[in-house]
Each structure stands twice: as structure tokens, then as C-alpha cells.
Amino acid sequence: MVESYKASQKIATVIKYIVLIIVGIIMIYPLLWMIGATFMSNAEIYGSISPIPMNWDFSGWAKAATTTLGGSINIWQAMINTYLIVIPKVIFTIISSTIVAYGFGRFEFVGKKVFFAIMVSTLFLPQVVMNVPQFIMYNSWGWVNSPLYLPLIASTLFATESYFVFMLVQFLRSVPRELDEAAKIDGCNAFQILVIIICPMLKPAMVSAGLFQFMWSSNDFLGPLLYVTSPERYPAAIFVRSAVGDSGATVEWNLVLALSLISILPSLIVFFLAQRQFVEGISAGSVKG
């Protein structure tokens, strides 16, 4: 009986890994095809679904390294512009969201439940509804085409991403209040408790929030399209779209895919480096509270 049970367990394990491998291949195939297609001609891209080029064509990468938009910006400058937006947004989002979540999770004040409900309700408000009033407001302040990308960055100072605040509050509810009380006995004030006690406990959720913001901001197209008008300040999302050219022109897809791969590579690297804490933060925030 024991041997048959062990054999059935081994068979189940083998089947499980086979299924996981098949699903993994299906999931990663588009990325593999994208990498291979950067070395294909247009004719081969249109005529083959294989990720392995039949006739290797390196012209896409050669042009990707040298292509400029209006003679003022290339993909490398566009990547720098992207992370001039992304890095401040990630930092400010983590700081502001953590402070607001700390307030909701650890303090009692008049209207707390009402304010929290209002904040959560903004999760159901589509960004497209706010685009026009926000543009009018930022334009009246002279922030459109700001060299500091103020319309894209400034709002993150005020914890405007309600999802991250909600996620951090849910995670914070699983942190015992006894830790706060012990820190108070040792003479810590509220700010010291946040920095010394709460932040280390919230690290997985903070990493998750940072990764979400990193990926969303890196892929943001509409925001820069509205608020960045000078080509030399374009981020990678706008640069790659501009590389496609007019609808009547012949698109060099190996060039476009090479530029796209360059633009997403940092996001892939960051995600895989922090995936353990990312999964931990998401799973903990979803089941605790």
C-alpha cells in the first residue's frame, strides 16, 4: 500500500510538472516570438509563427540603436526620460501610500470610516473621466510640457493611487498592535514606530506597490501623450509608437519590436529580481485583514 501510494504521488507530481511546463511555454511563447521576430524580415514575420528566424536579419537592431525622432532623440534618451518619470513616481508612491495607510490603519480620527470609504470608492472611477479636468488644471498652472514632468509625478506625492493605500492597509491590519505598544514603552514616537516597526513589516506590500507603479508608469502612453509635447522629452512609450510611422508608410516591424524589447527589458529584470516579495505581498494583502 505504501509503495503504491508513493508511486501514485510520483505520477501526480510528474503530471503536475508537465502541465506547468506546457502552460509556461504557452505563456512565454509571445515573448520568445517577439525576441526572434527582431531578427526577421517583414515577409518572414507575416509568414511564420516560429520564434526561430529562418534567415537572420540584424538590421532591426542596427536601426534601433541609431534611429532618432526628428533628429533630437533616440531610444536611449527616451529610456532615460522614461525613468526620470518612473523612479520619482515609484519613490513618492511608496512613501505617500505608506504614510496614508499608517494613518488609516493605526489612528482613530473623526470621519475615518467615511474618508476610507471615499478613498476606496475612487477605485471605481475610470482615469479617462478625470483626463479633461486634470488637463485643464495642469495647463492653467503652466505644467504642460514641464521639464520636470510635473503633471505625471506631482500627484503621487499625495497618495492618489487608492489601490496601493488599500493594499497596505489590509497588510497593516495583520501586524500586531502589541509591537507598537512595546515601541511606545521604549520611548518611540509615532514616526519612529512607522520607520522602525511598521515599514520593515510592510516591506513585501511596499515592494508590490512599487513594482505595480514601476510597470504601470513604464507602460503609460496616454499620460505622456497629454502632457509631454517636446520630442526631446518623450518617454519610450511615445518614442516606440512614433517609430511605427504614418499608417500609409511601410512599417519595419523588426525595428519596432527591437525598440519594444529594449523598452520592456528593465521592467522584466526588476520584476524577476523582486518576484518573491511581490507574490508574498499580493497574497498576504489579499487574505489577511
DSSP string, 268-283: HHHHHHSHHHHHHHHH
Query: Checking phi first, is residue 108 left (phi over 0); if not, alpha (psi -120 to 50) or beta?
Result: beta
- pLDDT at position 124 is 87
The set of residues, in sequence order, having a beta carbon less than 8 Å from that of 169 and lying 6+ positions away, is 101, 104, 105, 116, 289
Element of type H or E holding 69: strand 68-69
Q: What is the mean pLDDT of the chain?
A: 87
- pLDDT at position 7 is 77
pLDDT value at 251 more than 60: yes
| CB of 135 closer than 8 Å to CB of 155 | no
| CB of 254 closer than 8 Å to CB of 37 | yes
Q: Give the C-alpha separation, 171 to 209, whole Å.
A: 12
- pLDDT at position 246 is 56
- pLDDT at position 80 is 95
pLDDT digits (tens, 9 = 90+) for 100-111: 999 998 888 898
DSSP 8-class letter at 155 = G
Residue range 269-286: average pLDDT?
70
What pTM was computed for the model? 0.85
- pLDDT at position 1 is 61
Q: Give the C-alpha separation, 166 to 169, whole Å.
A: 5
The set of residues, in sequence order, having a beta carbon less than 8 Å from that of 206 and lying 6+ positions away, is 94, 98, 168, 199, 281
Beta-bridge partner residues of 69: 73
- pLDDT at position 262 is 92
Q: Give the C-alpha separation, 100 to 123, whole Å.
A: 16
